[in-house]
Structure 1
Amino acid sequence: MNEQHYCGIDHDKDGGLTHLGRIVIDAWLFGILPETETCQGWSSSQMQNLYEKVHAAWEDSAHLPSRLPPELQQRHSFLYEQRILIAKRSGWNTELGDDD
């Protein structure tokens, strides 16, 4: 059985606003990864390890952006606003369908 590899946030659907893409964005937020690291080609186990680090980083703020320190709140807003713009430019539709 072949292990799957992550396509990288820049090649992910919806501008990277997927479960794995948000892990990468949050890793940038907390300084776990530099913003130049897109995780392209990362294995499932590497992504799982990254998820665990990101999850631990969120614990102090109860996983809520509103409970982040002000400088991290601003950085969070900036990073996600960038990704939302990228997603919209690539045709991301924010409307919920009947099955959503």
Structure 2
Amino acid sequence: MSEQVYSGVDQDEDGGLTPLGRIVIDAWVFGILPESEMCTGWSMSQMQNLYEEVYAAWGPYAHLPSRLPPELQQRHSFFYSQRITVAKNNGWDTDLSDES
């Protein structure tokens, strides 16, 4: 049985706005990873390690974007706006209703 690997934020569903994708995006925000790193082919243990780094980086800000210093708020807004645009261009539906 082979270990599962991450598809990469650029190949992820919803423009990368999935739980794993958000870990990568937040790693970009905090400078843990370069923006060019999509984490394609990363093992789940590698993703877990990245999650732990990102979680620790959020700690001083109570895990709230509104508590980030201005530079990090700008990076957060930039990366998430970019990913939301990608998601919408790929048919992402933001309707949260139960009716399909």
1:42 maps onto 2:42 in alignment: yes
1:78-93 to structure 2, matched below 5 A, reads: 78-93=78-93
State the alpha-carbon separation in 2 of the partners of residues 71 and 28 from structure 1: 13
Shift of 1:97: 3.0
Whether 1:6 and 2:6 are equivalent positions in the alignment is yes
Equivalent residue letter for 1:10? D
Identity of aligned residues (%): 73
Distance 1:73 1:67 in 2: 8
Q: Which whole-Å deviations, capped at 9, do the CAs of 1:59-96 have from their partners, x for residues lacking one? A: 00000000000110111001100000000000000001
**Structure 1 outlier segments of 4+, above 4 Å:** none
RMSD, aligned CA: 0.9
- Which position in structure 2 is the counterpart of 1:16? 16
Structure 2: 5+ residue stretches without partners: none
Distance between the aligned counterparts of 2:4 and 2:97, measured in 1? 29
Q: Distance in 2 between matches of 1:73 and 1:34?
A: 17
Q: Using the TM superposition, give the Cα deviation of residue 98 of structure 1 relative to its aligned residue in structure 2, in angstroms.
A: 1.1
Task: Provide the secondary structure at the position in 1 that maps to 2:40.
Answer: coil
Determine the C-alpha separation between the residues in 2 that align with 1:10 and 1:53: 21
Gaps in structure 1 of 5+ consecutive residues: none
